Chain A
Amino acid sequence: MKETIKNTTLADRLLFFLLISLSVSGIFISRDALSQGSDVIVEVDGKPAYTLPLNADKRLSIDGPYGPTLIEIEKGKVRVKESHCRNQICVRDGWTSRGAIVCLPNKLVIIVGGSNKYQKQGIDAITG
């Protein structure tokens, strides 16, 4: 073994370390590329309160300063079904599968996943 190492040149050793580095970083790259699935994150008063899978139909009621807000997840989309806030902007937003629904009076932000896929493709933001 010692003899083998002794016989290697500088280039051999550089190549050896390069291959080791590449294989180690490869573990992280491939882990990152795996699909994580989309989540719905509900933030109350600026802090994450609930994380729910987007692919499981569910209803969630959250109390706020203007009473309960009813959030509905169905067929990979989310909406605010009912809210007692004055302007109903969150309800009028309707169903969404990406981005966020905001209810400022109830201090509620619903963030819908899905952008990770595009971050991996080097997309920094989405318009539309």
Chain B
Amino acid sequence: MKMPKSCLYFLFFVCLLLTSCSPNKLSTYKKSKALMDTFVTITVVADSQETAEKVIENAFDVIGKYGDLINFYSDKSELSAINRSAGIHEVRVSPETLDTIERAVFVSEKSAGAFDPTIGPETKLWDFVKKIRPSDAEIKKNLPLVNYKNIIIDKGKSTVFLRKKDMLLDLGGIAKGYAADLAVQALKQKGIASGLVAIAGDIKAFGLKPDNKPWVVGIKNPRQKSSEDEIIAKVTLSDKAISTSGDYERYFIIDGQRFHHLLVPATGQPAYSCQSATVIADKGVMTDGFDNALFILGPEKGLELAKEMGLNAMIIDSKGAIHTTSGLQGKLIIERDH
């Protein structure tokens, strides 16, 4: 029996369509979980859902275990042990906790204290939901407790000591980026060549998407006009991390003045020269730490520091003007209506 030619053509097209959907083709798989008191989403490029589930769950475990070590609010964490022992004795910690604190001190030193992980005694005075603004006297009283130079690290003994009693080390400004680095490392160890780890707004991308294009990350508009999320710019990334700090995350407004959670360590008052600061670098721990520092420093000094450290940055100043490092040319797309 001879098959008509048109039927053959039709079968050829059906075969084409079927092979394009074959199960061994690389696809993206995404899963989310609540960890580190936030929402973590991991996307991987894998050949099957089974493989993806396995590697993502392993990465979640890595983030969860690390989060337990540096949890500011848990009595069982190593960080809480350091804070409880402030001014009393040193505390022996895991390599991950020690490494995070060392890097936090590094960012503090490079930014001349614009980022300071000992800001805890000042931040605890503010309540951005109940709109509680501390008095100047309260702020002044706690200022002597804020100084990263009073963090004593002994690498040999793997210990950390806070020199003054009532000092509070808070790694919230750097730990999510560090966790993203750990998760990417875990995914790579399990054979994943491409993916994206997003721990809230601290994101690390590696490899390329199945269409061989880099990952695309949207940067939130700090002054969005509606309750719907608005993007001010898009950036393409591969083997890079990105983080943003903004004055819109936790804030309240009294008599037209915005009071937000990004405090200047030297004064204990909110910083007012930026609306947001975005940093792009190889490591999440650097983007997470330096986005805070750049926000506090403002557009001029912030971009200077970014260049000095070899980072890329986009800073939106207090008037809404966008400032970027030259390294972002060709990678950043500013949305039309901004």
Contacts and interface: CB of A to CB of B under 8 A. Distances in A.
Contacts of B73: 86-87, 89
A127 B242 contact: yes
Contacts of A125: 41, 43, 196, 198, 203, 205, 215, 217-218
Contact of A102 (B5, B38, B43, B243): B38
A89 to B, nearest CB: 5
Interface of A is mostly: mixed
Interface string A89-128: 1011110011110101000010100110110001111111
B222 interface: yes
B228 interface: yes
A17 B220 contact: no
B231 to A, nearest CB: 7
A13 B39 contact: no
A77 interface: yes
A100 B38 contact: yes
A115 B215 contact: no
Nearest to A86: B73
A73 B52 CA distance: 34
B218 A126 contact: yes
Interface in B256-293: 276, 278
A14 interface: yes
Size class of the contact patch on chain B: 35 or more
Contacts of B198: 125
Contact of A128 (B209, B227, B250, B278): B278
Contacts of A128: 201, 219-220, 222, 244, 246, 276, 278
A109 B73 CA distance: 18
Contacts of A38: 228
B302 to A, nearest CB: 16
A17 B11 CA distance: 11
A31 interface: no
Contacts of A10: 5, 9
Given A86-B73, A127-B278, A94 B34 contact: no
Contacts of A86: 73
A76 B227 contact: yes
A34 B92 CA distance: 56
B200 A124 contact: no
Given A21-B13, A125-B215, A127-B220, A111 B227 contact: no
A75 B218 CA distance: 24
Interface in A74-90: 75-77, 86-87, 89
Interface string A47-87: 00000000000000000000000000001110000000011
Contacts of A102: 34, 37-39
Nearest to B221: A128
Q: Choose among B17, B38, B244 the residue with the greatest number of A CB atoms under 10 Å from its CB.
A: B38
